[in-house]
Copies of this chain bind each other. A is one copy, B any other.
């Protein structure tokens, strides 16, 4: 997991400028362990730096995605979420009934990924595994939903 300073230094090496908004966004982003939207970033930073612009948030997230610091992931709602990519490997299960989230680690996808790379001729760079289901508390209350 990179530090904010290291990331800003990388930007600098690229010829980008290290500015207040960029520093704030990078620091905020590194604190997140759940997927977040651009709007999440904007609303959170606005309270600290009320002058920050929406466009700057989008631009900086684009830049961070290019640098590989964050990754854009699919969200069924149609809008993008971001996750910090060097987060090790945290995935989660979302309860479809109450929204409770549980994290888990140790997905051993490597054999599967190898076979997929072979099958599709893609070079697999990353994976995102998201599960949904019923948490323990909600497993007893599903008669109404069943078909």
| Shortest distance between the CB of A65 and any CB in chain B (Å) | 9
Task: Give the docked Cα–Cα distance between A7 and B113 (Å).
Answer: 33
Cβ contact within 8 Å between B126 and A139: no
Residues of B within 8 A of A125 (CB): 96, 132-134
Cβ contact within 8 Å between B80 and A72: no
Q: A74-B130, A116-B131, A131-B116 are in contact. Are A122 and B95 (CB under 8 A)?
A: yes
Residues of B within 8 A of A71 (CB): 132
Cβ contact within 8 Å between B135 and A131: no
Task: Give the docked Cα–Cα distance between A52 and B80 (Å).
Answer: 30
Cβ contact within 8 Å between A106 and B115: yes
Encode contact with B along A86-115: 1 for CB under 8 Å, 0 otherwise.
000000010110000011101111001101
Task: Give the docked Cα–Cα distance between A129 and B117 (Å).
Answer: 14
Residues of B within 8 A of A74 (CB): 73-74, 128, 130
Interface flag for A136 (CB, 8 Å): yes
Residues of A115-147 whose CB lies within 8 A of B: 115-117, 119-136, 139
Can you list 5 A-B pairs, Cβ within 8 angstroms, ordered by A?
A74-B74, A74-B130, A107-B116, A122-B135, A127-B132
Supply 17 further A-B pairs (C-beta < 8 A) apart from A108-B112, A126-B131.
A78-B80, A102-B121, A104-B116, A104-B119, A106-B119, A107-B112, A107-B116, A113-B131, A117-B133, A122-B134, A122-B136, A123-B139, A124-B131, A125-B134, A127-B131, A127-B132, A128-B130
